[in-house]
Amino acid sequence: MSREIPDRLQSRMARVWRSWEALLLAVFIVVFIANSFASPYFLNAWNLSDATFNFTEKALIAFAMAMLIVAGEIDLSVASIIALASTAMGLVMMAGFGTPVIVAAGLATGLVCGAVNGALVAGLGLPSIVVTIGTMSLFRGISFIVLGDKAFNGYPADFAYFGQGYVFWVISFELALFAVCALGYTLLLHRTSFGRTVFAIGNNPTAALFSGIRVARVRFILFLLTGVMSGLAAVCLTSRLGSTRPSIATGWELDVVTMVVLGGVNILGGAGSILGVVLAAFIMGLVTFGFGLLNVPGIVMSIFMGLLLIGVIALPRLVRGRAKGR
């Protein structure tokens, strides 16, 4: 009595072709070509490698943030976690510990901060946007209490590797870490049952709960991941800068969210891909780098980034709206 229902209607190719990622790839290619015409210094392996430094740290956080946003939550405290983690690393360094302990302190601080956010959101059921606006002030506030207008300097020489070292030829440690994390998060979100539950929660948290998913636990884990990735970014950034100030990474939370949203993750939850975030990271990096070569000030780049964010999201909506109107 049952008719055969096909597994899928569209072929995989048709899907890929019409995807957000394809649009991003096109934008990426355009930006790349425009850049190589605009500046003779652009098409140089070392220059391109340098260009990656301005997005790898943010992208590390963006991977975890993408999962969090897919689940319908958000974490605006990530930049403040960097500040606090960096401060913790500075304290440990001042106490005379070596690189392994410094790194551990950074990661552990990230984990604790993530646990605080997670406990407030998943445990007490508070809205994440408000909670993380609060912890955003709290975490960076603690850095300010510790450091005031001073700074930590004098990190050990071998600590510099994380932000300045190269794994192989032009491949920096940060770029390698970015690649590994991109792969890891792609698998986690798109290929594991944990990733599937993240999508389910983002689409309909109540139905997910009624399907036997431990919603609070998944949310808590996502905040932990975001915290740890912020700690990891703090290690890289502190190592690259060689110093800690409480104002470190100010405003990064918005860059990270921009990267995630530009990557096609639905800010309302339920949809998105890590590949999109990777492409968005490259686009943002290239634009920044290209403008830099042309001596365009950073703030003008940010205008372009804002226009890109709104434009890329508005365009498909406007086109679809026009089509529907007919």
Partner 1 sequence: MHPVLSLRGISKSFPGVKALSDVQLDLYPGQVTALIGENGAGKSTIVKVLTGIYQPDAGQILLGGAPVQFASADAAAGAGVTAIHQETVLFDDLSVAENIWLGHAPRGRFGLIDRAAMRAGAVRLLDSIGSTLNPDQRLRNLGIAQRHMVAIARALSVEARVVIMDEPTAALSHKEIHELYALIETLKAQGKAILFISHKFDEIFRIADRYTVFRDGAFVGQGRVAEATEGQLVQLMVGRSVDQIFPERVHSVGEPVLTVAGYSHPTEFADISFTLHRGEILGFYGLVGAGRSEVMQALFGITQPSRGACRIDGEVRVLRSTADAIAAGIVYVPEDRGRQGAVKGMAVFQNVTLPSLARTSRAGFLRMAEELALTRAYTGRLDLRAASLDQDVGLLSGGNQQKVVIAKWLATRPRVIILDEPTKGIDIGSKAAVHAFMADLAAEGLAVIMVSSELPEVLGMSDRVIVMREGRIVAEVSGEAMTPETLVRAAAGIAEAA
Partner 2 sequence: MMRVFKQRETLLALAIVLMTLGIAGRFPGFVAPNNLANVFNDTAPLMILVIGQMIVILTKCIDLSMAATLALCGMVAALLNGAGVPLALILAAAVALGAALGAINGLLVWKVGIPSIVVTLGTMTIYRGTVFLLTNGKWINAHEMTPAFKALPRGVILGLPVMSWIALALIGAFAVVLTRTPLGRAFYAVGGNPHAAVYAGLDVGRTQAAAFVISGALAGLVGYLWVARYAVAYVDIAGGFELDVVAACVIGGISIAGGAGTVVGAVLGALFLGVIKNALPVIGISPFWQMAISGSAILLAVAFNAGRGRAAGRLILREEQRT
Angle at 61 between CA 166 and CA 172, to 5 degrees: 5
Of the candidates 84, 103, 198, 208, which one interacts with partner 1 according to CB under 8 A? 208
Of the candidates 8, 317, 322, 326, which one interacts with partner 1 according to CB under 8 A? 8
User: CA-based Rg of the chain, rounded to a whole angstrom?
Assistant: 21
Choose among partner 1, partner 2, none what residue 193 binds, the Cβ cut-off being 5 to 8 Å by kind: partner 1
Of the candidates 196, 243, 311, 315, which one interacts with partner 1 according to CB under 8 A? 196
- If one asks whether residue 209 binds partner 2 (CB under 8 A), the answer comes out as no
Choose among partner 1, partner 2, none what residue 197 binds, the Cβ cut-off being 5 to 8 Å by kind: partner 1
Choose among partner 1, partner 2, none what residue 212 binds, the Cβ cut-off being 5 to 8 Å by kind: partner 1
Q: How far is the CB of 214 from partner 1 (least distance, A)?
A: 6
- If one asks whether residue 44 binds partner 1 (CB under 8 A), the answer comes out as no
- If one asks whether residue 207 binds partner 1 (CB under 8 A), the answer comes out as yes
Residues 162-191 touching partner 1, rule: CB under 8 A, are 187, 191
> Which one, 19 or 266, has the nearer CB to partner 2?
266
- If one asks whether residue 320 binds partner 1 (CB under 8 A), the answer comes out as no
> Which one, 42 or 139, has the nearer CB to partner 2?
139
- If one asks whether residue 325 binds partner 2 (CB under 8 A), the answer comes out as no
- If one asks whether residue 124 binds partner 1 (CB under 8 A), the answer comes out as no
Tokens describing residue 295 = 């001596």
**Residue carrying the six token digits 């425009």:** 34
Concatenating the DSSP letter of every residue in 94-146 gives HTT--HHHHHHHHHHHHHHHHHHHHIIIIIT---HHHHHHHHHHHHHHHHHHH
CB 135, CB 117: distance < 8 Å? yes
Number of Cβ atoms within 10 Å of the Cβ of 37:
9
- If one asks whether residue 180 binds partner 2 (CB under 8 A), the answer comes out as no
Report residue 245: phi and psi, to 5°: -125, 155
Distance separating alpha carbons of residues 276 and 256, to the nearest angstrom:
13
Instruction: Provide the residue count of the chain.
Output: 326
Distance between the two ends of the chain, CA-based, in angstroms?
40
CA-based nearest residue to 86, from 65, 110, 64, 62: 110
Beta partners for 117?
Answer: none
Distance separating alpha carbons of residues 229 and 57, to the nearest angstrom:
9
- If one asks whether residue 130 binds partner 2 (CB under 8 A), the answer comes out as yes
> Which one, 7 or 149, has the nearer CB to partner 2?
149
- Going by the DSSP 8-state scheme, the letter that residue 188 receives in this structure is H
Integer angstrom CA distances of residue 311 from 71, 111, 306: 25, 35, 8
Of the candidates 10, 15, 98, 127, which one interacts with partner 2 according to CB under 8 A? 127
> Which one, 149 or 326, has the nearer CB to partner 1?
326
Distance separating alpha carbons of residues 251 and 255, to the nearest angstrom:
7
> Which one, 193 or 295, has the nearer CB to partner 2?
295
Residues that bind partner 1 (CB under 8 A): 1-2, 5-9, 187, 191-197, 199-200, 203-204, 206-214, 270-271, 324
Residues that bind partner 2 (CB under 8 A): 120, 124-127, 129-131, 133-142, 144-145, 147-149, 246, 250-251, 254, 257-258, 261, 267-268, 297, 299-300, 302-303, 305-307, 309-310, 313-314, 317-318, 321
